[in-house]
């Protein structure tokens, strides 16, 4: 039985959301595929995205970035965490080598921690990076680039470059220095439009647009709390922390997830991020976005989506004040182009499948894990 070992950064939910469609495609191609997820990501979110029966090893293999909500990165504090990670790298590498030796996977797929790629290379296990970014390029393009210790940068750059392959799904940061890079199409799921059912369950009249507020992966960010009620759109949000409103419905109260409502929406309000942008393009949803400003990946994401789907930028000040009516009206009136094809899913699955068909090792059960 083939075994895929997936290592994912838990910086929000975007990295798992990016890798999951590929893993699902591989599971369809290879019945009985064993999947191990190594990440400290929320188990419920992992279960909502990955095929059933995977093993979850709940531990981090990289640092990510510290955040104050979805829009503000704590850059200087994050640099200290990267320095601490490098200072203990020998111990961490020894642990990761032991984990992979026990697991004996056919392939390590990382989105996009570098430690598992390093450990796999040292064990002779095929190792592939899959991501629209890498942490080296994020840090080198960040406001604190000069503060990052040189050994941290050297380690990441070397490990990413030594992977068997580094797959860049559109839209990706350039990463032109990678000798092993391969570009593929977008990775995102296309979902079923359940608009009529959603109107009935929310009690929303015909003709009133649905607007999805999606700043996923970060709790406690609730702009609706300060906004007056209105009749221009009906908001769909994960939770209504400030209480019930006639112009909004929480997905949690309906037992629904974002993928189940996205195609029914006439626009999405979000920050630029790979998952939200690729899913908007693939499901034909216009986007109202707020820049983080200091996030290096935005330079690749924003132009890509603007060329394919109606978009409109608002400022963080306007977001918090609820001054959105003009931008919402413009997006709702915009002509909708054809949805983008998520061609990257099958492209990546075809690339990875030969590694998973190459052998059938004897597998040992991982410690401290959960079967989901």
In this structure, how many other beta carbons lie within 10 angstroms of the beta carbon of residue 371?
11
Query: Do the Cβ atoms of 340 and 281 come closer than 8 Å?
Result: yes
- CA dist 285 and 289 (Å) reads 12
Q: Give pLDDT, residue 361.
A: 43
Query: Do the Cβ atoms of 101 and 122 come closer than 8 Å?
Result: no
Q: Give pLDDT, residue 169.
A: 98
Query: Do the Cβ atoms of 185 and 341 come closer than 8 Å?
Result: yes
Crossing angle of the two packed helices 14-29 and 274-283, in degrees rounded to 10: 60
For residue 204, give every residue at least 6 positions away whose Cβ sits within 8 Å of its Cβ, in sequence order, or none: 198, 210, 234, 249
Q: Give pLDDT, residue 364.
A: 38
- CA dist 255 and 194 (Å) reads 14
For residue 28, give every residue at least 6 positions away whose Cβ sits within 8 Å of its Cβ, in sequence order, or none: none
In this structure, how many other beta carbons lie within 10 angstroms of the beta carbon of residue 334?
15
Q: Give pLDDT, residue 371.
A: 53
Q: Give pLDDT, residue 13.
A: 86
Query: Do the Cβ atoms of 363 and 100 come closer than 8 Å?
Result: no
Q: Give pLDDT, residue 242.
A: 74
Query: Do the Cβ atoms of 43 and 10 come closer than 8 Å?
Result: no
Q: Give pLDDT, residue 219.
A: 56
- State the 10-residue block means of pLDDT for the chain, 372 residues long: 96 92 98 97 94 97 89 93 98 98 98 98 98 98 97 98 98 98 97 94 94 74 87 94 89 92 96 95 97 94 98 95 96 96 98 85 39 54
Instruction: Give pTM, 2 decimals.
Output: 0.92
């Amino acid at each position: 039985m083939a075994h895929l070992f997936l290592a994912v950064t838990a910086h929000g939910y975007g990295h798992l959301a990016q890798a999951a469609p590929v893993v699902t495609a591989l599971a369809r191609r290879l019945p009985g595929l064993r999947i191990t997820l190594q990440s400290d990501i929320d188990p419920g979110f992992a279960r909502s995205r990955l095929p059933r029966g995977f093993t979850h090893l709940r531990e981090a293999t990289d640092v990510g970035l510290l955040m104050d909500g979805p829009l503000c990165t704590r850059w200087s504090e994050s640099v200290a965490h990267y320095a601490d990670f490098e200072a203990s790298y020998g111990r961490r590498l020894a642990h990761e080598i032991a984990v992979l030796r026990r697991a004996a996977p056919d392939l390590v797929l990382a989105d996009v921690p570098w430690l598992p790629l390093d450990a796999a290379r040292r064990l002779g296990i095929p190792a592939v990076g899959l991501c629209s970014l890498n942490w080296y390029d994020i840090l080198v393009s960040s406001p604190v680039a000069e503060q990052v210790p040189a050994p941290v940068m050297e380690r990441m750059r070397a490990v990413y470059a030594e992977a068997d392959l580094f797959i860049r799904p559109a839209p990706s940061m350039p990463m032109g220095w990678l000798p092993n890079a391969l570009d593929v199409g977008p990775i995102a799921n296309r979902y079923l439009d359940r608009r009529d059912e959603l109107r009935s369950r929310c009690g929303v009249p015909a003709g009133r647009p649905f607007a999805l507020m999606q700043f996923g992966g970060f709790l406690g960010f609730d702009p609706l709390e300060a906004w007056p009620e209105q009749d221009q759109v009906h908001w769909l949000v994960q939770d209504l922390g400030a209480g019930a409103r006639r112009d909004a419905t929480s997905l949690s109260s309906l037992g629904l997830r974002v993928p189940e409502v996205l195609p029914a929406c006439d626009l999405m309000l979000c920050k630029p991020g790979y998952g939200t942008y690729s899913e908007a393009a693939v499901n034909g949803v216009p986007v109202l976005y707020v820049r983080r400003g200091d996030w290096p990946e935005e330079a690749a994401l924003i132009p890509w989506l603007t060329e394919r789907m109606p978009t409109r930028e608002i400022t963080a000040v306007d977001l918090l004040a609820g001054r959105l009516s003009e931008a919402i009206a413009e997006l709702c009136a915009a002509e909708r182009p054809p949805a983008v094809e998520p061609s990257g899913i099958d492209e990546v699955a075809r690339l990875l499948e030969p590694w998973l068909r190459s052998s059938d090792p004897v597998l040992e059960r991982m410690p401290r894990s959960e079967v989901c």
